[in-house]
Chains A and B, each alone.
Chain A
Amino acid sequence: MEQDMSNRNPGNHWKNKLDDVGSLSNEIVIDKNAAWKKLSTRLSRKHRRIKPVWYWAAAACLLFAVIMPLYIINKKPNDLVKNNLPEIKSPEVTVLKTSPSKENTGVIIYPSLIDKKKTRPHALPGSNRTNVTAIQKKEEILPANINDQKNLQYETTLLPAVINTAEIIAAAMPEKKKLKVVHINELGEPVEETPNIARHYERHPFKLNFINQQVYSGSSLPGNKTGFTFFKITSPN
């Protein structure tokens, strides 16, 4: 404890001496006016501290506004191109409508190939769409060996990945005839037709030979429209 006090005592002695500014005036070389100016400007700056919040908020908004379009463009460039292009009528439908009776069986239409045409309509200037856009492929599609890389590559280049069967079916189906809608009063008087099996002028005389050798002849009566008359011609007795 005494030792501790002995350690502290010189500290107090030094402390008293070090607090004496007069004896250490040479050590303190400070331009008070300049220092005060700096300090007062810093103190007066406290009112402007609100500004940086708005500044950073505005900067963040600006950054967001710049980055978002770039992000969207980078993410879906094809979609944007598609949206900007004018809508083109489905080509395969127009072809089949104009000539439904032609050999449509076995026609395979590849929508993805048609889509390529859609994206580059200016590639075929002046061409008739109805003639160009339908693509017929009569080659047989053979099952490809997965291990054969060459075959696989060939197939992938020639055939599109997805064939829209719904579109194909819709294209192959002949257009439905629309029936004319007529009001019942416009049909006129209903035509009465006799329920006769055969009309009078269609009746012919005939003979019936039975096993007991009786023979009957049948003929239509000129006045009777509805029936036949049978006559017994011969009998075995």
Chain B
Amino acid sequence: MDVSQLVREAKQGSEAAQKCLFDMLSDKMMLVCCRYLKSREDAEEVLLDGFYKFFKNISSFVYQGEAALYTWLKRIMINECLMLLRKKNVFTIVTDAEAKDIPLEEEALNNLSAKEIFDLIVQLPVGYRTVFNLYVIEGMDHKEISVLMGIAEGTSKSQLSKAKLLLQKKLLQNGTGYVKQKSR
């Protein structure tokens, strides 16, 4: 069935259409949630909360293509994740270190698989991970991140540079391992 038709029917309150949309988008959204939240239970909870809000406010959504629908739902999920993290008070980040711009090694990145990237991100501490996700993956700037997380802009910058440093270390370790695997 066409996505636009599903959205239209979901707007009218069709449970079948809502279920179809849920089945279609839940995997992707679960991945997004898992990138922000370490706990699988939390991710599932946020997924349900996000879909609940999505179906509740779907009447105000104007369908402009599948990508727009995906982006809108993803934004809802990210907001829900950040709300949960704020609720758990994990954003009490205190830092006065100057933010250094550290470029990531593209060669190493290109060699990494999706699973390796996912594992790398999940291993980061919560503050680093959130800022890294928002800045690098979602493409937000530090101003937006500071507003969303309720932290200073400088804090966001420093968290990102620290996250990158930590990732460099891990990439180097993984890169050696990768090279070793290839040489065999």
Contacts and interface: CB of A to CB of B under 8 A. Distances in A.
Contacts of A42: 48, 52
A32 B26 contact: yes
B157 to A, nearest CB: 11
A24 B118 contact: yes
B104 A23 contact: no
A30 interface: yes
Most chain-B Cβ atoms within 10 A of its Cβ — which of A12, A25, A28?
Answer: A28
A11 B139 CA distance: 8
A10 B26 contact: no
Interface stretch (A13-21, A86-94, A99-107, A175-183): A13-21
Contact of B113 (A23, A25, A28, A40): A23
Interface residues of A, number: 33
B90 interface: no
Given A11-B135, A11-B136, A27 B31 contact: yes
Contacts of B115: 23-24, 26-27
B148 interface: no
Interface residues of B, number: 37
Interface stretch (A1-9, A65-73, A127-135, A153-161): A1-9
B106 interface: yes
B91 interface: no
A50 to B, nearest CB: 16
A66 B84 CA distance: 40
Interface of B: 15, 18-19, 22-23, 26-28, 30-31, 34-35, 40, 44, 47-48, 51-52, 55-56, 101, 103-104, 106, 109-110, 112-115, 117-118, 135-139
